[in-house]
Amino acid sequence: MPEHRAAASHSKSIAPRDPRLHSQIEALLTGRHSDPFGLLGPHAVDGGWAVRFFVPWAEKARISLQSPASENTTPTSDGIVEAAKLRPEGFFEAILASGQTTAPAPTMYKIQGRTHYGESFEVYDPYAFPCVLTEFDLYLMGEGRHYDTYQKLGAHLLTLEGVRGVHFAVWAPSAQRVSVVGDFNRWDGRVHPMRARGSSGIWEIFLPELAEGAIYKFEIIGPAGNMLPLKADPYAFRSELRPNTGSIVANLENHRWNDADWLSQRSGKNWFQSPVSIYEVHLGSWRRVPEDHNRWLTYRELGDQLIPYVKELGYTHIELLPIMEHPYDGSWGYQTLGYFAATSRFGTPAEFMEFVDRCHQAGIAVILDWTPAHFPRDAHGLAQFDGSHLYEHADPRQGAHPDWGTLVYNYGRNEVQNYLISNALFWLDKYHIDGLRVDAVASMLYLDYSRKPGEWVPNQFGGRENLPAIEFLKRMNEVAHGKFSGILTIAEESTAWPAVSRPTYLGGLGFSFKWNMGWMNDTLKYFSHDPIHRKYEHNKITFSMLYAFTENFVLPFSHDEVVHGKNSLLHKMPGDLWQQFANLRLLYSYHYAHPGKKLLFMGQEFAQRHEWGEARSLDWHLLQWDSHRGVQTLIRDLNHLYASEPALHQVEFDWHGFEWIDANDADNSVLSFIRRGKKSEDLILVVLNATPVVREGYRLGVPQPGYYREILNTDAAHYGGSNVGNAGGQDASEQPAQSRSHSLVLTLPPLAAVFLKWKPKS
């Protein structure tokens, strides 16, 4: 680069020569300039280039011209040009009088100077760097088909023009000006206003030499010219711990994954014919450290304690209540604000990756609860993000959720659909997550969900179906399953909406599984009745088989059933304490015997007595009692039996895997049925006695001759029962019963289940 004549240095400001420049500087200094790249950085002037910059804390400044770095060198100094201070607020201009109007714009230079406090500084000029996002990126985002938007928007560490720094990008189409602010610019939105990318609504800027760990937000001037509350980054990979709300620059490439074998095996896994037993966990209350101010366990401590525990109990999956960043502990994560940030409550993104990696190495899949149904109104979040109803509907009949006081996404907007689908893929990609359980799907499907007449807006055909939300769910499932083979998507859907877990090409929503809320409600109502009255409620325990194979069901006993005055599962059971434990063991055996995948919320596996509360640990001290250890042992044995016996997991979604023996013995409150695997020899007989009466000489028809070995009895002494049973099993007699040619004469233990495995005669 040729020598440049240094412009005179001035300690006082001088007026700009061009009146138009004066008005632009005024707009910048008042934080109202919508095109900062049109003013700042290098610009052609007569006889050379003007380099303009705004550093409000600078007393004096100059630019240091540099030769670009090569592959093995760093930029080198090539000349100093003093800058004139055009405004006392800190607006400077340096003239590079090359005498050649065709000379290229200077791109490699640093701004050097001294602050008002005598401190020196040296920085690259962000306004000398080019755009990062391509026109094709912007086009796909506008179309709603840029599904890896998380690679483009937000804050990304990258090297541009040989300089390491952070690229920021955000969607705010109604904003008049967007700036990125943080400690690095003293939270002054005038310093780093971003470049608007035309009609796309995207704003971007590259801040050279900014590093991982920088805290930032976006300062936005809305369409009415008003300054909005500082906004967290919708795509932030990390956030400050509440009550702080800043976004943090994070590098998600630091963790070295060791789960290649797991991912390879998962891609070919047929989960429909495999055992799926899910342990649902709230990380903040599974176990705490009382001797250290009752603090949470970290992701690493959870890896040390939770993973071996789940492995020992035989669960195949851990399902985490939302670990995406959320401002309020009491929402349990279901009012998500930082959709791309693993909560800082328990550690860093890399530490959560390590937790998932360790789960995979232990053979355990990880499912995340995901909340695309609504989002909170917090001022630093998505609500009126750019001063308009950007993510939500403007009409509260469409954009506000009456139950939770939250806002509802505008699924009909391409960019909003893109944001949510990109988020789903993000967790599957960056964190190797094995599945997403989608919360509150029913509230998405129906426009009149929890709304009275007149409080909702019909769709274009006059119906109550939320057509854009339906399209979004279908597209999300198609893209997620298309990109990540072997993952699961699970719908929490409580209505009779058809084909939730059927492929979209067959008219379904495309989910892998659906929670069977009807089964759960009927089952708990049945078990809550005193056994003397259960014969009048018998239909509740048999009704589920009328629809059991209309969907691919998960049978959930989730966190929702043990909070807000609903009591723990143990204390939902009637009778004295012995009967409560026996009833609970019977409930769990029915859970595992019924067709459908399994889910149980933490603590219920050892008969937690108190309702769950997010602010305290589970009652681990209960395991000092035999009765509680007995329930825990039963859950372990049920999981291992479920996984080892094809008859219990292989055919869960059609009638070939289930056959009633007697569904109608209401007077005795006895239920009996057969579970079958794909092979004829895989057959298990299940008998449930829902009364505290020992039933001796109970004759039961069986499908074929042979020996029926008792492989599980929930009344066994090591589970806490009275040890009534059938001496290990018996041979079927040729006496017919219940329209079958052979039968058994069993002793049915009180409030207990018996599982008998068939073995043909040798």
Q: Is 369 annotated as catalytic?
A: no
**List 280, 325, 439, 645, catalytic entry:** 439
**List 492, 493, 637, 710, catalytic entry:** 492
Both structure tokens of 332: 């349990």
| Residue 511 · residue 470 · CB < 8 Å | no
Q: Counting every residue, how long is the chain?
A: 762
Is 594 buried (19+), middle (13-18) or exposed (0-12) by CB count in 10 A?
A: buried
Question: What's the CA gap between 36 and 119, in Å, rounded?
Answer: 27
Both structure tokens of 501: 């877990």
Residue 220, beta-bridge partner list: 178
Q: Which residues contact 19 (CB under 8 A, 6 or more apart)?
A: none
Question: What's the CA gap between 324 and 339, in Å, rounded?
Answer: 6
Question: What's the CA gap between 159 and 7, in Å, rounded?
Answer: 32
Question: What's the CA gap between 249 and 240, in Å, rounded?
Answer: 11
Question: What's the CA gap between 340 and 323, in Å, rounded?
Answer: 10
Name residue, tokens 């049945």: 526
Coil, strand or helix: which one is 179?
strand
> What phi and psi values does residue 572 have, to the nearest 5 degrees?
-80, -20
| Residue 658 · residue 622 · CB < 8 Å | no
Q: Is the peptide bond before 243 cis (omega within 30 degrees of 0)?
A: yes
* Torsion angle of the four alpha carbons 420, 423, 429, 432, in this order, in degrees rounded to the nearest 10: -110
Is 378 buried (19+), middle (13-18) or exposed (0-12) by CB count in 10 A?
A: middle
Residue 322 CA from chain centroid, whole number: 5
Q: Which residues contact 295 (CB under 8 A, 6 or more apart)?
A: 288, 289
Question: Do β-strands 435-438 and 488-491 pair in parallel, antiparallel, or remain unpaired?
Answer: parallel
Question: What's the CA gap between 365 and 709, in Å, rounded?
Answer: 32
Q: Which residues contact 308 (CB under 8 A, 6 or more apart)?
A: 362
H-helix or E-strand spanning residue 387: none
Q: Is 626 annotated as catalytic?
A: no
Q: Which residues contact 54 (CB under 8 A, 6 or more apart)?
A: 28, 29, 40, 89, 90, 91, 92, 190, 191
Q: Which residues contact 7 (CB under 8 A, 6 or more apart)?
A: 81, 82, 83, 84, 94, 95, 97
Q: How many CB atoms lie within 10 A of CB 703?
A: 16
Coil, strand or helix: which one is 290?
helix
Question: What's the CA gap between 397 and 450, in Å, rounded?
Answer: 11
Q: How many CB atoms lie within 10 A of CB 18?
A: 12
Question: What's the CA gap between 673 and 210, in Å, rounded?
Answer: 66
Helix runs in 431-507, H state only: 441-445, 467-483
Active-site residues, by number, are 439, 492
